[in-house]
Each structure stands twice: as structure tokens, then as C-alpha cells.
Structure 1
Amino acid sequence: MDEREFDYLNVIPLVDVMLVLLTIVLTTSTFIATGGIKVDLPKAEAVQDASLQQPLTIAITKEGTVWVENSETPLPELATALAEVSRDTPITIRADRDIALQLFVDLYEAVKQLEFTTLSLQTEQQP
């Protein structure tokens, strides 16, 4: 039996596996970065730089549901949910563009009555 020398290494299957893994990582990281709560953000021309301190996120869905971080919180219970949070913590509101303005104003007033010092509204930059 004649032994043949090993001339090359076929790397095409390795590249295919690496591309699939890269796709999975990028898809997962995008989902984690944008959050799991579906909110269609309004558009704005000015984009504000993020604060150095990690903000607390309050989201309002299209249906009018209020979420503090990842837990659903009715608006009357917002004071209870934010009782343990430091008043210096920045709060970011992610409100769907199709919600009633009164719901946003009610949420804004509730947060201001709790004496939080930094409050911002998250938007998407217009193309």
C-alpha cells in the first residue's frame, strides 16, 4: 500500500462553522442590547450621549403596559417599584410612538413626584 503525503488542510468546513457561530453571537447580542420589550421608538434629530451611570429603564408598550426594567408594573404601583432606587439614578423612558400622550405625561409626573433628578426619553435617530 502506498502512503500519500498530506498536502493540504481543508478549512472550508471550519469557516462555515465559524460563520454560523458569528451569526448566532451577533443576533443574540443585538437582542440583548436593545432589550426584550418591543417598543417602536419615536424619531428625533438630536441624539443625547449616554450617562456614565447605568440608567434604570421604564418602557411603555403600544398597548399601554408599563415595564420597570423587565417586570410589568401598573402605573399606580410605580412608587413602590422605585422605592429602593437611589434618586440620583438616571431614568430612561422608552415609550412607543403610538401611545396616548396622557399615559406618558402620567408616567413623567409620577417619576418627577418621586424626586428623581435625571430623566430622559429614548428615541431613534432619523435617517
Structure 2
Amino acid sequence: MHGPFNRMGRRKPMNEINVVPFIDVMLVLLVIFMITAPMLTQGVQVDLPQVSSEPIEETENRDPIIVSMDREGQLFITLGEDESTVSLDELSQRVIILLERQPGTPVLVRGDRNVAYGQVITLMSTLQAAGVENVGLISEPPPGEA
């Protein structure tokens, strides 16, 4: 007699693994990560200006130095996952050190739309004095263009 039963009526052991429970668990984990991933973004709350612009092309796979200025004029420097509050003098020193370690690292500025124009100019002047040749400005697309 052929099939999963032999003559005594006992079942033969299966030599296949049932992967359906594993697939179910993986789908549940995928849904959990998709829901929680947007909640993990951290950073300074900055109300970015909304303008139409083309995204900057990435030339290399290195994290940019992001300098953020919130509505009170406080400065934050971010490189990868590291974020810290700095003064204008400390910012200059930190950027010089980071650019010496990794020359050509892009520098981007995130400025709150409510910050005085003079503070942003002072920030950009400080970055220029620290040896930054090109500074990118981060903005958000207007509603409906995202």
C-alpha cells in the first residue's frame, strides 16, 4: 500500500517542514515594523519652509553634516545618528574636525521658517569660515507635491 500509512496503520514520519506558521509570524513582524518605523524618527522640531525644488543628487554614500536651527535660534549638529546641541563657536570647531576626518562631506542647513534671516546668514558665514565650500538648504515640498 502506498501513501503515508504503512501496513500496521501507523503514519510514516514526514520529511518536510511546514513553513506556513513561519510565514505568518514574518508577516506579523513586517506589519509591526511598518507601523513603528515612522515613530522612531527623532530630531529637532523645525518648521521647514515649503518650496518647489529638485532633490540634491547623492554623489557618495556618506552621511551629510546637518546643522539645524530651531525657532529660538538654538543650533543642533547631526552626523548619522549623533545629534547634539552646540553654540556657534562650537559648531565651527566641530565642522572643522569633521571635515578634516572626512573631506568632501556635504553640509546641509535646516532652518525653521520663523528664524530671523540674520541668524541664518550668521550660521552660513560661520560654516564658510570653517571651510565649507557648498552649503545645501533643506526644505519641504508644498502640500500636494510630495
* TM-score tier (shorter): 0.7 to 0.9
Alpha-carbon distance between aligned partners in 1 of 2:39 and 2:111, rounded to the nearest angstrom: 18
Q: 1:25-44 residue pairs with structure 2 within 5 A?
A: 25-32=33-40, 35-44=42-51
- What amino acid does structure 2 have at the position aligned with 1:36? G
Corresponding residue for residue 79 of structure 1:
92
Identify the structure with bigger relative contact order (alpha carbons < 8 Å, sequence gap 6+). Answer: 1
Structure 1 consecutive aligned stretches of length 4 or more whose deviation exceeds 4 Å: none
Tell me if 1:46 matches 2:53. yes
Corresponding residue for residue 64 of structure 2:
55
Structure 2 residue aligned with 1:99, among 115, 120, 135?
Answer: 115
| 3-state SS of 1:82 partner | helix
Judging changes above 3 Å, is the alpha-carbon distance between structure 1 residues 40 and 46 closer, same or farther for their aligned structure 2 residues?
A: same
Equivalences, count: 111
Alpha-carbon distance between aligned partners in 2 of 1:77 and 1:59, rounded to the nearest angstrom: 14
Pairwise CA RMSD: 2.4
The alignment's TM-score, normalised by the length of structure 1, stands at 0.73
Contact 1:90 1:117 in 2 (8 A): no
The alignment's TM-score, normalised by the length of structure 2, stands at 0.65
Identity of aligned residues (%): 23
The answer for unaligned runs of 5 or more in structure 2 is: 1-20
Corresponding residue for residue 4 of structure 1:
none
How far off is 1:52 after superposition? 3.1
